[in-house]
Structure 1
Amino acid sequence: MSTVTLPRLHWGPADSSRRALLVHGLGSSAQTQWRLAEGLAERGWSATAVDLRGHGDAPRASRYRIDDIADDLLGTRPEGGASWDLVVGHSIGGAAVAQAAALDAAWARRLVLLDPAIALEKAVRDAVLAGQLANHDAATVESIAAEFPHWHPLDVEFRVRAAKGASRFALERMVLDNDDWDVRSHVARLTPPTLVLAADPARGAMFTGPLAEEVLAANPRMSAVVIEGAGHSVHRDDPEATLHHLLAFADV
């Protein structure tokens, strides 16, 4: 297993004592975290977003297991090598954040997981793969805007740019390399306080039902809030509610 150095974007005062790391999901990029980063920066946080391996400007690699993504993330530290005060992860990024934090309790002090993909069965993985490849091959500003008319224009723009900019091989392998997609054992061992901001079950939530109940019951350090009416990309579907809950949790 070889780790890669992840490119970074930054918002807010570089010398802030409160430092956050933002981790995107499959087919996205550091830039797609702009709304959360701006919200944190406006509250005085130093916010850093990374491109995951195979995405954006990050190095391409031969393997894309969640193990690899978690190891890459553990290679990120704020200036001076201290812990991140807050780490936010979406979808597969949320799964990798949880695994990283379980492997190194000093890496992060608090976690926010945005509709995390904790465990996915084959049918769901197949649907995710088909959707990712379709976006990579054919998504346009017009098609994404028509699918998500309530999204901010920048979210539409960055979604298309990220889908096109990701390695097609990486998109395939992030699903195919994870045929055992399940980080429940890591989530159960998390010690940082962890907030899950879940999508609405009626809108295709990944963190829902018996899985969510099992995960929350296994770790008393975890809590969850459902963002009513929001789909899997809660930070794009309802950025105001997502930021409200994230900031209230982060500013404790």
Structure 2
Amino acid sequence: MTTTVPSASQWGSPNARKRALLVHGMNSSSHTFHRVASALAAKGYLVTAPNLLGHASRMPGSNFQIQTLADDLLPYLEAVEYDIIIGHSMGGLVVLSLLKYLPKTRPTSVVLVDPPVEFTAEQTVQRKVMFSSDVRDNRNVEDYMALNPLWTREDAIWTVLGTQIGRATNAHDHIDGNVPWSWLHLISDKPATATLTVLVADPRLNDSCDVGALAKFKNVKTVIVPNASHWIQYEFPKVIVEEAMRGVEECDNRQ
């Protein structure tokens, strides 16, 4: 059963010994992780998915930098040490910005889901247009299901809600507030005890994540998910859970 708490949603038993933190992307909400969260809860995790500033009826901060979104989540990290941390899209960049705050001695399995780690100036303009069109076109549940045959109706419902209850200017504010759009340098903040896996959409369907730029990092595992769009958590949630659990197993083997 899912319960909603201020600024976040939770799945699983409060008495669970294992913990997972899931961070959603731009123009989304905590519930866009509902399939992944439910699967992790079934494996004995208490799953917490916060809503980012400016999303899901939350007012924005004083600026729109990714680090501001990350710092807003620090109370979650201060209260609990997590076995698994997952971030989708812009949420993946938020997770990268949180790496420096992770425990240096406790293992953490970190999974980034199709994070847009680098944008050229041209790509930045294209993304602003794309995100703005999602709001402007006012797509309904049926529209999203027609465009995304692997989605369930629940997936489409949460997407519509995330788009409609968030701020219409989120895309422009966050993209303009983070120039240049470049986040690969944050990988160096990963503690040695953490594993980092990046799941990438099928390049035939989406080019948000620069696989070539990630290739130079030997401490990052990159997995391209065939037939997946940017919304891997809807289409192939099992892959996300499996990679997160592999990270946990690798962490355990290091101890």
TM-score (norm 1): 0.88
Q: Are the aligned partners of 2:108 and 2:248 in contact in 1 as well (CA < 8 Å)?
A: no
- SS of the residue corresponding to residue 204 of structure 2 reads helix
Identity, % of aligned positions: 24
Shift of 1:251: 5.2
Name the counterpart of 2:80: 82
Q: Check conservation: 1:54, 1:167, Cα contact below 8 A.
A: yes
* 5+ long unaligned stretches in structure 1: 1-5
Is 2:102 the counterpart of 1:105? yes
How far apart, CA to CA, are the structure 2 residues paired with 1:44 and 1:165?
A: 31
Matched, 1:236 2:234: yes
- Report which stretch shifted further, 6-15 or 18-27: 6-15
Q: In structure 1, what residue type is equivalent to 2:103? A: A
Report the Cα distance in structure 2 between the residues aligned to 1:100 and 1:239, rounded to whole angstroms. 23
* Amino acid paired to 1:106: P
Per-residue CA deviation, residues 185-210 of structure 1 (Å, 9 max, x unaligned), is 11123122111111112221333342
Give the Cα separation in 1 of the matches to 2:248 and 2:124. 31
| Alpha-carbon RMSD | 2.0
Contact 1:117 1:207 in 2 (8 A): yes
Alignment length (residue pairs): 241
SS at match of 1:232: coil
CA distance in 2, matches of 1:251, 1:133: 40
Secondary structure of 2:81's counterpart equals coil
Q: Which residue of 2 aligns with 1:203?
A: 205
Residue type of the alignment partner of 2:58: A
SS at match of 2:162: helix
Is structure 2 residue 196 aligned with structure 1 residue 194?
yes
In structure 2, the CA distance between the partners of 1:209 and 1:251, relative to structure 1 (3 Å rule), is closer
The residue correspondences of 1:107-126 to structure 2 (distance < 5 A) are 109-126=108-125
**8 Å Cα contact 2:51-2:58 kept in structure 1:** yes
Give the aligned residue type for 1:23: V
- Write out per-residue CA displacement over residues 14-53 of structure 1, whole angstroms, 9 at most, x where no aligned residue: 1111111100111110011101100000001000111111
Q: Which runs of 5+ in 2 are unaligned?
A: 1-5, 251-255
**In 2, are the aligned partners of 1:29 and 1:56 still within 8 Å (CA)?**
yes
Rounded Cα–Cα distance in structure 1 between residues aligned with 2:115 and 2:182: 11
User: With structure 2 as the length reference, what TM-score do the two structures score?
Assistant: 0.87
Q: Which residue in 1 is equivalent to 2:37?
A: 37
Aligned to 2:134: 135
How far apart in 2 are the matches of 1:146 and 1:39? Answer: 26
CA contact (8 A) 2:145 2:152 kept: no
- Using the alignment, how far apart are the partners of 2:45 and 2:80 within structure 1? 15
> What SS is found at the alignment partner of 1:111?
strand
Deviations 1:181-234 (A, max 9, x none): 1121111231221111111122213333421213x23xx2x2121111111111
Deviations 1:158-182 (A, max 9, x none): 1011001111132320111112111
Asked whether the 8 Å contact 2:200–2:211 carries over to 1, the reply is no
* Superimposed CA distance per residue, residues 80-126 of structure 1 (whole angstroms, 9 cap, x where no aligned partner): x232221100111101101111x213288221111112222222222
Q: Give the residue type in structure 2 aligned to 1:51.
A: N
Asked whether the equivalents of residues 22 and 87 of structure 1 are also in contact (C-alpha less than 8 Å), the reply is yes
Number of the residue aligned with 2:19: 19
Aligned to 2:10: 10
| Larger relative contact order (CA 8 Å, sep ≥ 6) | 2
**Partner AA of 1:242 in structure 2:** I
* Runs of 4+ with >6 A deviation: none
CA distance in 1, matches of 2:116, 2:207: 9
User: Counterpart of 1:197 in structure 2: which amino acid?
Assistant: L
When structure 1 is superposed on structure 2, of 239-248 and 195-204 the one drifting more is 239-248
